[in-house]
Amino acid sequence: MIRTVADLLSAVLASELPKLDASEVVHAPTIGDMYEGLSGHLLERAVPEGLGLRVVTGFVRGHDGTLSGQIDRMLVVGEGEQVPQTINYIYSVEDVIAVIEVKKTLTKADLGDAMAQLQQVRAIEKSYRATAQGQLQPADEMSAYKAYSEMTGRVLPPVSDADSLTLFDQLLLQALLEEATSIIRVAIGWHGFKFERALRKAVGELVAENVGQASSGPASLPQLIISGDFSIVKANGQPYSPNTAGDRWPFYGSSSINPLLLLLEFIWTRLDVKFGLGNPWGEDLTQEVLRALLIGEAVEQNGQRGWRIEVVDATTKDLRAAPVEEPWEPERFTLEAFVVIQRLCAGKIVRLDDPKLLAWLGEQSRTVEDLASELVASRLVARTADGNAIELITKECLAAILPTGQYVAADNNTGRLTRWIAQGVAAQRAGTEGGTGNTTEQRCV
């Protein structure tokens, strides 16, 4: 369904944007109002009904009364406070879900201004989080913990052993907690850079120009930047989870996919965590591909901890050759790894130092590290903090044996694997390639 909604919004944009572009109005504030109004109209159509959500323009108020600058569009919950004799509203920081800064045409200078405006909102929220009433609850943090395990292949240690985390893990977890719970910040230019590489270059330069400032770290940057047909997307686990092998976090990537789809992904993921939307994603059998732009590496210098950021260059030829999206498929396993997945699905504890497991793996000419690497690479499991056991990190793991003899498994909390199998069965019945026939399944929650 998410792609259908994105396509509908794109059709609205394709119809309305030329009307705005053709307007004879030259009054700059009015021009800004037109493009902000279009953005608000699209956002209103993008959010589900019945959740008490509103799309407004106005200000974010901090716990101490501090007001942000005027925000072009905000996705909020509740009534807020209308500024007398205006269309603007003031909303408390805890009632704001997303903020959007809108430009007719996005230039490097405009992007810098938008990022500074959005950074004000982040500063207000960070101040609120430092208060007693702004403290996160355990339920708020669960999606960040899952993202951490997906990215690193490691389960967080108990709170009592938190000091055992490496510098990279500490900084990554801190960033992921903020990303999972903070206001979503978006900068939009409905016209802008004509080439993906030019947008990437502008973002890289803005980050480099602000090195050492609070606005230069991964968590300080907007979750999404849209410039015409191209976007810069944050891989923060909400929903995009990159691999951090080698303790390097590729946190920013570019994409040329429908930008409204990306906007929906960020907003619906947050709304699903907050309200429980069920499965608004529909078939969900394709996935977006991000081209790495910024990679973070944890460093400590002169008693200060932070991120060293590497900018990844890519030619226009490389970007055009890279896939925009790819078909989703479940993870495929060897017999040995599949047996372990089944045990985990059955609620069994699997320790990597279990003598019986080690003996059995020896008979199969497999090492325990080889097995663990295969399992962790699937992102369905992660190693415990001591490295001696593995745990499922899925919401609802489903394992299946296909008629081809292949062993597969995936997180089936939205029914994704079930739909993939059904699609294969339908294809087989239609006499086409890719059918899966009958399968043997094992499900666990």
pLDDT digits (tens, 9 = 90+) for 336-373: 999 999 999 998 889 999 999 999 999 999 999 999 99
Q: How many structural domains compose the chain?
A: 2
165-190 as b/e, with b when 16 or more CB fall inside 10 Å? Answer: beebbebbbebbbbbbbbbbbbbbbb
Regarding whether 210 and 280 lie in a shared domain, the answer is: yes
Separation between Cα atoms, residue 189 and residue 105, nearest integer Å: 5
Separation between Cα atoms, residue 342 and residue 332, nearest integer Å: 13
Q: Which residue has the higher pLDDT, 164 or 307?
A: 307
Among 307, 327, 347, identify where a domain stops. Answer: 327
Regarding whether 149 and 246 lie in a shared domain, the answer is: yes
Dump pLDDT digits (tens) for 372-398.
Answer: 999 999 999 999 988 899 999 998 999
Regarding whether 389 and 269 lie in a shared domain, the answer is: no
Regarding whether 210 and 73 lie in a shared domain, the answer is: yes
Mean pLDDT across the chain: 88
339: Cα within 13 Å, side-chain hemisphere: 8
Compute, in degrees rounded to 10, the torsion defined by CA atoms 197, 198, 200, 201.
120
Q: Which residue has the higher pLDDT, 33 or 241?
A: 241
Regarding whether 184 and 300 lie in a shared domain, the answer is: yes
Regarding whether 189 and 250 lie in a shared domain, the answer is: yes
Query: Nearest Cα to 351, choosing from 380, 306, 384, 393?
Result: 384
Among 275, 306, 327, identify where a domain stops. Answer: 327
Regarding whether 141 and 33 lie in a shared domain, the answer is: yes
Separation between Cα atoms, residue 78 and residue 95, nearest integer Å: 7
7-26 mean pLDDT: 74
Tell me the three state secondary structure of residue 302.
Answer: coil
Token pair 């030019």 is found at 198
Range scoring the smallest mean pLDDT among 21-25, 187-191, 241-245: 21-25
DSSP run (H or E) holding 292: strand 291-301
**pTM (2 decimals)?**
0.90
Alpha helix (H) residue ranges in 315-415: 316-321, 335-345, 355-363, 368-377
Q: Which domain holds residue 214?
A: 2-327
Separation between Cα atoms, residue 346 and residue 349, nearest integer Å: 9
Regarding whether 142 and 177 lie in a shared domain, the answer is: yes
Tell me the three state secondary structure of residue 407.
Answer: strand
Regarding whether 395 and 318 lie in a shared domain, the answer is: no
pLDDT band, residue 18 (cuts 50/70/90): confident
Per-residue pLDDT, 1: 56
ω before 239 within 30° of 0 (cis)?
yes
Among 302, 327, 352, identify where a domain stops. Answer: 327
User: Degrees (nearest 5) of the Cα angle 349, 354, 360?
Assistant: 110
Regarding whether 428 and 316 lie in a shared domain, the answer is: no
Regarding whether 284 and 345 lie in a shared domain, the answer is: no
Regarding whether 374 and 263 lie in a shared domain, the answer is: no
Per-residue pLDDT, 116: 93
